[in-house]
Structure formats: C-alpha cells, structure tokens
C-alpha cells in the first residue's frame, strides 16, 4: 500500500519541492496551503506525472482548529500519515524594538505553534501504529540568530528545541523526529532581498551558490525514510557551509 506524506505550506517553494520529491517516490501527498490556489495545479501535476493520489487541504496552520480539521480530513482520506513535514512558515524583518505584538504572535503561531498543533493531531495515530516520521523545517537563523529577525529566529530556535525534546519522548513509540535547517534558499521568501544582497549572501557561502528548494527536499526525504532509520533528534543543516 502507498505511503502518505502531509506537507504544510506545500503550495510554493520548499514545500512544493518536497511534494514533488515524495510523489516521485510513489507517496500520496496531502498538500496544505493557506491562500495560494497553485496548490491545485501542483496536485494535478503530481497525479499526471507520477500517478499518485493527492489532497489539497486549505488551512491556516497557525490556528489549532483548522489544523486539527485538516489532519482529520487527511486521515479519513488516506487512513494513515506516514510522514509529517512541518514546513509552512513566514518571515519578518525589522528591528526588535519596533516589532509589534501582533506581528510577534503571527510569526510564533505560524512557525512554531503550528508544529505543536499538527504534530499533536498526528501523533496519536502514529503511536497507535508504532511507526512514523516527522521532519520539521527550521532555519540556520534558529541555530545562530539573525539581527533584525528576532521573532523569526526565536520561532525557529523553538522548532529546534521541540524537535530534540520530542524525539526523545516518542522514540520508544517507534517514531523519529528530525529537522532540516536550511540556509539561504531561492524561494518567494527571499523576494524582499535585492540582487546585490543575494550576491553578497552567495559570496559568503563556502559552496559559492544559494540553495534550491530541491536541496532541502532531498534532505527531508532522506530523513523521512529507511536510510535514516537510526537517526532521530537531529538538526541537518543544509546551507552550503554558511553556518558550520
Ligand atoms: P515560501 O516560498 O514563502 O512558501 C511559504 C509556504 O508556507 C507557502 O506554501 C504558504 O502558503 C505557506 N504558509 C504560510 N503561512 C501559512 C499558514 N498560516 N498556513 C498554512 N500555510 C502557510 O517559503 P519557503 O522559502 O518555501 O519556506 C518554507 C519553510 O522553510 C519555512 O518554514 C521557512 O521559514 C523555511 N526556511 C526558508 C528559507 C529560505 O531561504 N527560503 C531559509 C530557512 C528556512 P500559501 O502559498 O497559501 O501562502
């Protein structure tokens, strides 16, 4: 029977690349999105190209009720979620001193509380079956902190802490929890950076290029599968050597 992956924020960027990577390996894919209708064309592409089943699930993953409803719908459709990829996220740039409370809360709920909501909804099913893998998308800024991105860095540091602690807690239940920590990856999230800044970031990267969504999708797929069956609680940095 085909396995199923649920990817949050799979309509664009890294999430869409993950959807493609898993579909290529025969997984049914639940494509969560917030507002991008591109999710539907992606779903059609995956079915046409790889013959897999897909489900587009609109939900604001920063809201507990929407997240739980989405997981319930996915389990009803496919019976089980073998792999949960907590990918959806937003960035926020600006001085900490001018960060408004609602901005802070939006970043924390979208990037961190969402991981709590979706994981909490999926785990009872995984525990019952004594199997499953969770891969969270962190960020190198969660590892080392970024000036003028304090809320974002805090949310991603939270994801890293959650990954390590939960991995210890659920390992006896046969479930692995890991994170991929991307460096600078060329997606819509980087649109606010001009050409000059992107070139500077490239020059600062020891491997002399910026990352692609595919770089991250390959790492996520690796951590989710049998090749990584003795790996849990790890933060795999995929950043071209930017942070070592
Ligand atoms: P992106 O291209 O901006 O895509 C973000 C995705 O998240 C979209 O699918 C978006 O859905 C979804 N999303 C945002 N808010 C949501 C919400 N409330 N509910 C459900 N879905 C929501 O970003 P990306 O670069 O692929 O980033 C993906 C992940 O990688 C994020 O967690 C990000 O922090 C992390 N990351 C990215 C970089 C980078 O350089 N790009 C570096 C480190 C870490 P809609 O399309 O419907 O809006």
pLDDT at 1: 79
Q: CA-to-CA distance for 138 and 153, rounded, in angstroms?
A: 9
CATH number of the domain where residue 83 is located? 3.40.50.720
Residue 1 CA to ligand 1 center (angstroms) comes to 30
pLDDT at 238: 98
Residue 127 lies in a domain: yes
Predicted structure pTM score: 0.99
Residue 243 lies in a domain: no
Residues forming beta bridges with residue 164, ordered by sequence position: none
Residue 186 lies in a domain: yes
Q: Are 61 and 118 in contact (CB under 8 A)?
A: yes
CA 56 to chain centre: 16
Residue 219 lies in a domain: yes
Residue 90 lies in a domain: yes
Residue 154 CA to ligand 1 center (angstroms) comes to 16
- Closest ligand 1 atom, CA of 58? 20
pLDDT at 146: 97
Residues forming beta bridges with residue 211, ordered by sequence position: 185
Task: Tell me which residues of the chain have a pLDDT lower than 50.
Answer: none
Residue 49 CA to ligand 1 center (angstroms) comes to 24
pLDDT digits 0-9 by tens, 59-98: 999 999 999 999 999 999 999 999 999 999 999 999 999 9
116 is catalytic: no
pLDDT digits 0-9 by tens, 101-130: 999 999 999 999 999 999 999 999 999 999
CA 190 to chain centre: 16
Furthest-apart CA atoms within the chain: distance in Å: 53
Query: For the chain, how many structural domains are there in total?
Result: 1
pLDDT at 201: 96
pLDDT at 51: 98
Residue 137 structural domain: 4-238
Cα distances from 10 to residues 39, 158, 163, in angstroms, run: 7, 21, 20
Residue 155 lies in a domain: yes
**Residue 158 CB–ligand 1 contact under 6 Å:** no
Task: For residue 244, give the DSSP letter.
Answer: -
**Residue 190 CB–ligand 1 contact under 6 Å:** yes
Residue 78 lies in a domain: yes
From 10, 11, 14, mutation site for ligand 1 pocket: most ligand atoms within 8 A of C-beta:
14
Residue 244 lies in a domain: no
**Residue 186 CB–ligand 1 contact under 6 Å:** no
């Amino acid at each position: 029977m085909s396995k199923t992956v649920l990817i949050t924020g799979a309509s664009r960027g890294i999430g869409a690349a993950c959807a493609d990577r898993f579909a290529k390996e025969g997984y049914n894919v639940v494509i969560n999105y917030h507002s991008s209708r591109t999710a539907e064309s992606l779903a059609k592409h995956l079915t046409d190209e790889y013959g897999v089943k897909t489900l587009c699930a609109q939900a604001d993953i920063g809201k507990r009720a929407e997240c739980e409803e989405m997981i319930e719908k996915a389990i009803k459709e496919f019976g089980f979620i073998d792999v949960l990829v907590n990918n959806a996220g937003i960035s926020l740039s600006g001085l900490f001193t001018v960060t408004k409370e609602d901005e802070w809360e939006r970043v924390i709920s979208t990037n961190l509380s969402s991981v709590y909501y979706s994981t909490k909804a999926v785990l009872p099913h995984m525990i019952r079956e004594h199997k499953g893998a969770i891969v969270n998308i962190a960020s190198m800024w969660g590892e080392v902190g970024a000036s003028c991105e304090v809320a974002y860095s805090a949310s991603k540091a939270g994801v890293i802490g959650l990954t390590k602690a939960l991995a210890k807690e659920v390992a006896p239940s046969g479930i692995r929890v890991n994170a991929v920590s991307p460096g600078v990856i060329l997606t819509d999230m980087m649109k606010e950076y001009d050409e000059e800044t992107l070139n500077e970031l490239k020059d600062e990267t020891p491997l002399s290029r910026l990352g692609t969504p595919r770089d991250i999708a390959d790492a996520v797929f690796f951590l989710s599968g049998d090749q990584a069956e003795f790996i849990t609680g790890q933060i795999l940095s995929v950043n071209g050597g930017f942070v070592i």
